């Protein structure tokens, strides 16, 4: 059997920042908003390779999730992008099991975009940027910042064709 084992590693590199002082450049380089591009000259940090988890139950869960990812059709993707346009507000209904997820039902955020596999990327008010996985997680549009012509389907309802 082919296993998908989650791993992590570190990289290092340099970025170029234009600023009046070194202190200002370092403040910009801290990148609290995650807006700077990754270095193009990055290198692997020797000895940093590790399993993301040593718990077989967590790794088995990751394997199950990797196998469960459902492909989104062109029509479903179009409907998702119409339902969750950039800037609309959403609330988390349910998120599938993920040992690294800190989000809870009821968390709210603003949609950033929907990618080509149907993941709805949300800037959550709590600071998370975790995406909503098509066919696995559920969100709903919040009234008040509605985009004209859009309804209130959840990702799950869109998946079922409601």
pLDDT beyond 90 at 6: no
Q: What is the pTM of this model?
A: 0.51
44-103, pLDDT tens digit by residue? 899 999 998 888 888 877 777 666 556 788 899 999 999 999 999 999 999 877 766 788
What's the pLDDT score for residue 66? 67
Structure tokens at 24: 């200002």
What's the pLDDT score for residue 45? 92
- Taking Cα atoms as reference points, which of 116, 151, 157 lies closest to residue 137? 157
DSSP characters over 26-64: HHHHT-TTS-SPPPTT-EE-TT--EES---HHHHHHHHH
Structural domains for the chain: 7-68 (no CATH), 74-160 (2.30.30.40)
């Amino acid at each position: 059997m082919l296993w998908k084992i989650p791993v992590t590693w570190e990289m290092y590199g340099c970025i170029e920042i234009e600023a009046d002082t070194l202190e200002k450049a370092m403040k910009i380089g801290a990148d609290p908003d995650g807006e700077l591009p990754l270095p193009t000259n990055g290198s692997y940090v020797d000895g940093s390779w590790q399993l993301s988890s040593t718990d077989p139950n967590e790794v088995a869960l990751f394997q199950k999730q990797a196998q469960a990812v459902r492909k989104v059709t062109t029509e479903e993707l179009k409907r998702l992008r119409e339902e969750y346009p950039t800037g609309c507000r959403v609330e988390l209904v349910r998120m599938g099991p993920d040992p690294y997820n800190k989000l809870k039902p009821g968390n709210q955020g603003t949609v950033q975009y929907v990618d080509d596999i149907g993941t709805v990327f949300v800037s959550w008010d709590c600071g998370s940027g975790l995406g909503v996985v098509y066919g696995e997680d559920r969100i709903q549009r919040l009234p008040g910042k509605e985009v004209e012509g859009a309804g209130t389907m959840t990702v799950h309802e869109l998946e079922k064709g409601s």
